[in-house]
Chains A and B, each alone.
Chain A
Amino acid sequence: DIQMTQSPSSLSASVGDRVTITCQASQDISNYLNWYQQKPGKAPKLLIYDASNLETGVPSRFSGSGSGTDFTFTITSLQPEDIATYFCQQYDNLPPNFGQGTKLEIK
């Protein structure tokens, strides 16, 4: 199985800050990576697919990059409504594993 390692596991930032989360795959997954946002008590929501493609309707302050084994998720200007846990997920191989999540809080 491909292991997905996210860092950090938690993050505290101020409104307006640039926030970066990384995700590392245990082997090359090309660009077969998704990023999800899960707000407290809610279902996850797909934000980015194929490592860097923004899902329709998702604000442009969210972005993703990377390929191979190393990926980055960025929020360019943190907003209060971005408080959530963020998960990466690979879909190069079965099983389509998720990272352990990054809990984002407002400072």
Chain B
Amino acid sequence: EVQLLESGGGLIQPGGSLRLSCAASRFTFSSYAMSWVRQAPGKGLEWVSSISGSGGSTYYADSVKGRFTISRDNSKNTLYLQMSSLRAEDTAVYYCAKDQEGVEFRFDPWGQGTLVTVSS
């Protein structure tokens, strides 16, 4: 069974930076696109970013473009989200999710999530 384990969340001041990680196991990580999706407290789901299996193609929501960077280390089976210039509205649970072999935005499965709180 595919496993995805996010880490790196926490309390950060506005304007600060944080790096999230998602450790993947029990599948051939490099063969699959991966994504980050977030959920503000009590709110709906918002797609954040996706990356192809090779890492050669990346995609971002307008709300994070220029501030967040998605990357992956296929030798470590790990997905990352580098977040900078954080704002209060970035407060959310961040989920990593496995996609298909291509970037198809079919998110399955999801990790358990890591909470990012942006507050002074």
Contact = CB atoms under 8 A, between A and B. Distances in A.
Contacts of A91: 104-106
Contact of B112 (A36, A43, A49, A99): A43
A43 B95 contact: yes
Interface size bucket, A side?
20 to 34
Classify the secondary structure of A's interface with B.
Answer: loop
Interface residues of B, number: 19
B105 A89 contact: yes
Given A94-B59, A95-B61, A46 B44 contact: no
Given A43-B95, A95-B62, A89 B45 contact: yes
Interface in A33-53: 34, 36, 38, 42-46, 49
A96 interface: yes
Contacts of B104: 91
Contacts of A46: 106-109
B32 interface: no
A44 B107 contact: yes
Nearest to A85: B44
Given A44-B107, A46-B107, A98 B45 contact: yes
Contacts of B46: 98
B53 interface: no
19 contacts: A36-B45, A36-B107, A42-B112, A44-B37, A44-B95, A44-B107, A45-B109, A46-B107, A46-B109, A49-B106, A87-B45, A89-B107, A91-B104, A94-B59, A95-B47, A98-B44, A98-B46, A99-B44, A101-B44
